[in-house]
Every structure is written in C-alpha cells, then in structure tokens.
Amino acid sequence: IHDHFSEQGRSYVVMDFIAGDTLEDYLGKYSQLLPVEMVLEIGIQLCTVLDYLHTHQPPIIFRDLKPANIMRTADNHVYLIDFGIARHFKPGKAKDTIPLGSKGYAAPEQYGKAQTTSQSDIYGLGATLHQLLTGDDPSLALFHFKPVPSSGSPIFAQLNVLLEQMVEMEMSKRPASMAMVKQELQRILAQVSAQKSSHVVKRRTFLRGCLSVVATCSAGFALATFIVEKPNVIDMLLAHPFTGTTPAHSLSPATPAHARLLSKPLYTYHGHAGSVTAVSWSPHGQYIASAGTFDSSVQVWDANTGILVIVPDLAMYPAEKRLLSRESVPALFATNGQRVDALAWSSDNIHLAAALGNDTIDSWSIGTGDERLFRFGFPGNVNALAWSPGGSRIAAVSGNRAVEVRSAATGKFIFTYTDHTQTVLTLAWSPDGKHIASGAADGIVKVWDASRGQTSVTYRGHTAAINAVSWSPDSSQIASGGTDGTVQVWDAATGRSLFTYRGHAGAVNAVAWQVGARLLPGPEARIASGGDDHTVQVWSIGPASNQAWALQGEILMYRGHAGQVTSVTWSPEGQYIASGSGDGTVQIWRAV
C-alpha cells in the first residue's frame, strides 16, 4: 500500500497492481473443483493473512471471505481484496451495529445474533474451502455442508473433521484461532505431499510480498475504494504493513554458529489424530500428558515407553471408569468432544487440569481412585492456565482479557486480575509462588502479585503477540517468546532486558526453562524454545562484560518435526525434552 486519500465522500488506497483472477472467476473458467493440494496451499496463505489481521491491535475482522474476494495470480499466490465491510473488533459489544456479510459464507452471528469475532472469519474460510473442494455453492443450502468425498482416505477424513469444526454454528466450538487452522492445514498438506512422493518434496514458498487489497485497476497501480468509515483500517495497514511472513513449512532457518544439530528422537508418540497443542511432563517424571486440537483428547502415557495409559473420552465409554490405580487397565478421561487448549500438572503429581473449549476447566485425580477433582466454568474461552507451586490454587484466563484465580480444591473464586487490555494468551506461576506472569496479544507481559493481583512490572520489549512465558527456577528472570520471532530474557523484578535470542526463523510458540537449573554462565542454565520453523533450540546465557548478557556455550537445534513446534516441556531431571507439533506427534529426545 503506497498511499490513501479521500475525494467526494469516498476513500481510496493506492497500491501495487495485481495481475490475476478472483477465485470465483477462476472456478468459472477452468473447473468447479480444485486439486486438494492447491486448496490446502490457498488455505494456508489465507490463514497467514487473516492471522495478521486478527492479532493486530485492535483486531480487524474481515467479515466477507468468499471466492469473489480472493485474487489468484498465475504462480498460485493469493491476495485478499475488498475490505469494504472489515471492522475493528470492539470488546464488550453484544452484536454488530449493522449485520453485514455474504449469504452462505457469513457466519450465523453475522445475521445480527452476536458480535463478529475472528471465529466469524474462520467460518467464512471453512465455507470457502468447502466450495473449492466440492463445487457446492453455500448460499444454496445455508449452514449445511456435505462431507468432502473421501473415498476412504484418512487424509480426507481429517480434512472433513477440520471443515466441520470451522463451520460450527456455535462460535465456541470452532478452532480458537487462524493459527490453529493453519497448523492443521499444514499437517494435512504434508501428508498429501508424502503420499505423492516418497522422497523429500521441495514445496514452493506460498506467500511472498505484502498483503494486498484491490478493487479497481489501471496500468501499473491500483485504487481500492472503501466506504467512508474505513480510513482507520487503512491507516493501520499503512502504519504496520504486512511483510508476507512465510508459512512455517517453507521456512529455512539459518543454523546459528556453534549449533549442534539433532533430528532423531528417542521415540515418537503418534496417539493424536491432529495437531498437538499442549504437552506436560508430570513432576515425578513418570507420565507425559498431551492434548490435541482437533481430536478433542487428553492422553496420558508412560514417559519411558510411550505406551498409552489413559485413553481419551470417558463420555464414549461410561462403564469404563478406571484410573491409573490399576496400571494394567487403560483409564478414560472425559473431554465430551471439546477442544483442549491447555494442560497443567499439579506439583504433587496427582492432579491434571485441562482447559476445554466449552469455557470450562476439568481436573482429574491420577492414581488415587477418585474421578474428577473439579469442573468449573468461565465467562469465555480458557486458553491458558497455571497451578500454584503448592497446588492449592489455579489461575486461568477468563473472558479473554482477565485472569481468574480460584481454589483448586473447591473452585471457589479468590480474585480476578484485569490489567490487560488485550487477549491473554499465556500464563506462568513463579516457582516461589509469589507472582504470576501473563502475556497478551498486544505484545505486553505483566508480572503481578499472586495473592492480591497488583501489577509490579509491565514488560514491553516485544513487537507482537506473546505466545509463551517461563520463569527461571529461582524466580528472578522471565523468558518470553512471541510472534515477533524472539525470545527475550528479562529481570522479573525490574523489567530490565537482559538478552534477546533471535535464532528462530518465525514465530516462537513455546519457551521452557530447564528444570532445576540456575541462571548462571555455563551449560547448566538452559532455555528451550520452539517455533514455526519446525525447530526446538536449546541455549544458555549469562552475564558478560559491562553488565551485558551473552550466549554461553553451544546451541542445540532439534529438527525432527515436520510441522510447527507448539509445546515444549523438560523432564524433571532436566535431561530430556518432549516437544509437541502441528505434525501430530510428540517427540522425546535427549537435550544434553
């Protein structure tokens, strides 16, 4: 985007000329159906652009995703066009001022029932991808989508599960973000490519250049017209241009100097049918718990062997209410078909808590013969949770921007922390139990008193959303990872920046401080970080000259995953790492 101006009551944008067809025109010219690989590539590109819009502050909801508003060039790059009804998300509004959207592609809430959110665009993308795969016009059968013909293929079965979740009538049942949809599309695309060739497939870089919006064209440049109330959206795009972040599967990170490369795990756990969103090692080291985004499961398995000891979904088998007190019999957990966004073990190794997509937290008692320890609800999606070190309290995101602290035994409300102005994405309780660190979509991390909720430090070093925070074992430092591709280590008491790690080629999704380590120079004080570049990187820092901090020793880079790394957890003794990924696996490997 080069410029914008207003004339005779209308606003215009000057931008690069795009030579291509809309997907609507392309379908009409060549075919009513597109190859599944092409559709997945298109979906991944659109997820990248829409995730950029949704994670901007304030978020921008496109609201009119359909083939007619997507331009395709000859080299299969796609561009989102016509922002005429795009709007800023306005927290607290019950519904939109004016119901807008295109019949068949608009989510149910766009018909005036509720305010549109990022989940509305997820619905529109699901309807669009369904049409590209089936040729069915969604406007002819509102809110009804037939399964994509699968011919018995497990890949199409997985794709159908994703599409069904994207076009759910209830917003809370759709995937939580475009980033999650993108992960699953990338995982499915990897399977499609693997079936077509047994050798490594060199995929194209699907997205280059910048986000483009275009309506009317002339030689060399284009003018995009908008309704008068939209200049604020365009000002945002001019002030914060989209840089065309490359999808994760095509990233080629440069190997940092002194890096030691690993690619073979001790073993790989394949129990999930879709992307793995959370992995947590039990404090005593016996079990690993993992959660899948699209298979709605919580699975607990033996950390030494990878053998499943807890099978998901008690609701399916109500007669099989067995727990780990009988080691030879698999136990069954109830997720009731809900998406699982976060997992956490209590410090006593007995209780496991899961944040479910129906605005509840469930906790189970492991190995005691009891069933559910507690279930309590929240006013909005719970996408992060943390136990207090003693296990008596639990903190969880409530209604996106607030964090509630409750009794873990009774669910009794203690207090709510409300200092964030944007969605809270991650939480971590300090090992000494005194403070909680919470990171939000606006790139801000706040440190606050765990007893009273008073903010002590606000850290503003990141330029994009915070995806992970982790405390040093002595509670003196915090490492935070973000969509800006950095891990930043800073003083928890003062907020003073100590070091910024830039080894990842893409967003950082997971950060974990080595258990039992102290932040001192040398190989014992190490941090593990995982990101969109498919890698987990283990590195250490310490004080250098003039109070500066620097890398200490070699960097360990693990490249065993075929998808984004979404979660990283250390074994209790600090020698092994379990990493979860968008490729549907959890991989256990030696990190020393």
Q: Does 194 or 255 have the greater pLDDT score?
A: 194
Establish if 400 belongs to a structural domain: no
Q: Taking residues 89-109, what's their average pLDDT? A: 62
Supply the pLDDT for residue 221. 37
SS (H, E, C) 415-476: EEECCCCCCEEEEEECCCCCEEEEEECCCCEEEEECCCCCEEEEECCCCCCEEEEEECCCCC
Given a contact cutoff of 8 angstroms between Cβ atoms, the answer to whether 322 and 314 are in contact is no
Supply the pLDDT for residue 61. 87
Q: What rounded mean pLDDT belongs to the chain?
A: 78
Q: Which strands form 424-429's sheet, in the order they lie side by side?
A: 424-429, 435-440, 445-449, 455-459
The structure tokens 């002819």 sit at 140
Q: Taking residues 293-312, what's their average pLDDT? A: 76
Establish if 412 belongs to a structural domain: no
The structure tokens 């979906």 sit at 43
The structure tokens 């005429």 sit at 84
d(CA 108, CA 172): 13
Q: Does 115 or 506 have the greater pLDDT score?
A: 506
Q: Number of structural domains, the chain? A: 1
Q: Taking residues 111-137, what's their average pLDDT? A: 87
Supply the pLDDT for residue 341. 79
- Lowest average pLDDT, out of 16-20, 207-211, 554-558, goes to 207-211
Residue type, 465: A
Supply the pLDDT for residue 525. 66
d(CA 185, CA 41): 8
Q: Is the pLDDT of residue 523 over 90?
A: no
Q: Is the pLDDT of residue 398 over 80?
A: no
Supply the pLDDT for residue 3. 74
The segment with the largest mean pLDDT, out of 134-143, 173-182, 472-481, is: 472-481
Q: Is the pLDDT of residue 211 over 50?
A: no
How far is the CA of 394 from the CAs of 40, 74, 401, 404, 408, in angstroms? Answer: 39, 53, 17, 8, 6
Supply the pLDDT for residue 139. 87
Q: Is the pLDDT of residue 505 over 50?
A: yes
337 confidence band (pLDDT: 50, 70, 90): low
325 confidence band (pLDDT: 50, 70, 90): very low
The structure tokens 């309807």 sit at 127
Establish if 188 belongs to a structural domain: yes
Establish if 566 belongs to a structural domain: no
579 confidence band (pLDDT: 50, 70, 90): very high
Domain that holds residue 68: 3-244
Residues written for the chain: 592
**Joined tokens for residue 504:** 């990842």
Looking up residue 116, the CATH number of its domain turns out to be 1.10.510.10
- Lowest average pLDDT, out of 18-22, 101-105, 488-492, 520-524, goes to 520-524
The structure tokens 């009409």 sit at 28
Establish if 296 belongs to a structural domain: no
Q: Are strands 297-302 and 466-471 parallel, antiparallel or unpaired?
A: unpaired
389 confidence band (pLDDT: 50, 70, 90): very high
Give the residue from 53, 63, 133 showing the smallest Cα distance to 102.
63
Establish if 359 belongs to a structural domain: no
63 confidence band (pLDDT: 50, 70, 90): confident
Q: Does 251 or 195 have the greater pLDDT score?
A: 195
**Joined tokens for residue 13:** 């944008």
Q: Does 301 or 255 have the greater pLDDT score?
A: 301
Given a contact cutoff of 8 angstroms between Cβ atoms, the answer to whether 261 and 557 are in contact is yes
Q: Taking residues 289-302, what's their average pLDDT? A: 81
Phi and psi torsions of 165, nearest 5°: -70, -35
Q: Are strands 555-558 and 78-80 parallel, antiparallel or unpaired?
A: unpaired
How far is the CA of 504 from the CAs of 255, 473, 527, 561, in angstroms? Answer: 9, 24, 13, 14
- Lowest average pLDDT, out of 2-6, 315-319, 392-396, 490-494, goes to 315-319
249 confidence band (pLDDT: 50, 70, 90): very low
Q: Is the pLDDT of residue 1 over 50?
A: yes
- Lowest average pLDDT, out of 97-106, 305-314, 379-388, 554-563, goes to 305-314
- Lowest average pLDDT, out of 31-40, 484-493, 526-535, 549-558, goes to 31-40
Which class for 2: exposed (0-12), middle (13-18), buried (19 or more C-beta within 10 A)?
exposed
Supply the pLDDT for residue 26. 82
Establish if 538 belongs to a structural domain: no
Chain Cα centroid distance, residue 1: 28
Contacts of 496 (CB under 8 A, 6+ apart): 490
Establish if 214 belongs to a structural domain: yes
Q: Does 529 or 323 have the greater pLDDT score?
A: 529
393 confidence band (pLDDT: 50, 70, 90): very high
Q: Taking residues 3-12, what's their average pLDDT? A: 80
